[in-house]
Structure 1
Amino acid sequence: MKNSLHKIIVILVFGLLINTSCTKDDFCLQNPVTPKLVLRFYDDTNKETLKSVSTLYVWAEGKDTIANFNGTSLDSIYIPLNSLDTKTVYKFSNGTDVDTFTITYTPKEKYVSRSCGYKVTFNDVTFYSDNTWIKEFTPSTLTTLDSQNIAHVQIFH
């Protein structure tokens, strides 16, 4: 009897040690995603009307075409910025002409939580274009790019 009670106590203590040594699972419940730049394309003559680029190709300078934007017809796109640099240069083609679109910024890492890690926000964002087939765009600057819930730049073509 004493031996059985001793075994039960040892098992309970062992179980208690295992249970208390486990940590709570950490799940990232926030949206810590580093935002992408969201662009919407509009008609140059009727600035309130969305206008798809009929044969859109997009690639970062020195890289291959982004698969999602390889000859597609879209009125909006989202593209990543290089968080390890202060400038990202994209080439946009409408099938005939190529426009260089340059984005400069100051990246800033932001600690979200232990489970979510870090995200990058982009401050003092400035846009430049050589306006080949893109007639104009607005705005030319953003104070902060920290979400991708809205379009950041309207491009008129």
Structure 2
Amino acid sequence: MKKITLLLLIALFSFSGCEKDDICDANTSTTPRLVLTFYDINNPSVLKSVTKLKVVGEGMTEGIVFNATATGDSKYLTSANTISIPLKTDADTTTYSFTYNYGNSNPALVFVDTVTINYSRNTIYVSRACGYKTVFTLSPSNAIIHTAVPSSSDTWMRYISVEKTNIENENETHLKIFF
């Protein structure tokens, strides 16, 4: 009887040290990216796909990966009507260059616009397993600064509309870009 009691006590103590696994569920909301949707400037209610768009952040040597399975420059190109791009979590401004028709052999058909996004950040505790996430609020006075590169050329983006100032998830369009 003493052996059974001792065995039960050992088993009880060995399981009492176990802790719940700290694994962040894939469905848990993390730091959201900025969602941009492109529209036809001549018919503003119609979505319009971009042509070979490459997005490069200021200070980055490579673009944002839109197609991880592609090779070479193709992985940085998209021809979609909606894209998501990350904002810096350690600064209140992020600048991107958007190259439309990237790689075209005719330089007159390649357009580069620079967009600077100004915002404030709020860090929120999610859980022990997931850590923290950052949510953003676009600046009410100058959320978007849009220029062409070089500055003497026309912009390919004709109008940028701020749809949502609070960037808390990726389920909605934050900016509409008309071209």
**Shorter-chain TM-score tier:** 0.7 to 0.9
Distance 1:79 1:54 in 2: 17
Cα deviation code 1:129-157 (max 9, x no counterpart): 11511000101871x21111011110000
Determine if contact 2:117/2:138 at 8 Å carries over to the other structure.
no
Distance 1:42 1:6 in 2: 79
Q: 1:56 aligns with which of 50, 53, 56?
A: 53
Determine if contact 1:35/1:120 at 8 Å carries over to the other structure.
yes
| Long gaps (5+) in structure 1 | none
**1:71 has 2:77 as partner:** yes
Query: 1:148 corresponds to which residue?
Result: 170
What are the within-5 Å matches in structure 2 for residues 1-157 of structure 1?
5-29=1-25, 31-63=28-60, 64-68=62-66, 70-95=76-101, 96-125=110-139, 126-130=143-147, 132-139=155-162, 142=165, 144-157=166-179
Q: How many residues align?
A: 152
Q: Which has the larger radius of gyration?
A: 1
Determine if contact 1:127/1:141 at 8 Å carries over to the other structure.
no
Instruction: Pick the structure with more strand per residue.
Output: 1
Determine if contact 1:33/1:119 at 8 Å carries over to the other structure.
yes
1:25 positional shift: 2.9
RMSD, matched Cα:
1.9
Determine if contact 2:34/2:84 at 8 Å carries over to the other structure.
yes
Query: 2:104 corresponds to which residue?
Result: none
Cα deviation code 1:31-72 (max 9, x no counterpart): 231000000000011100111111211110121122316333
TM-score (norm 2): 0.77
| Long gaps (5+) in structure 2 | 67-74, 102-109, 149-154
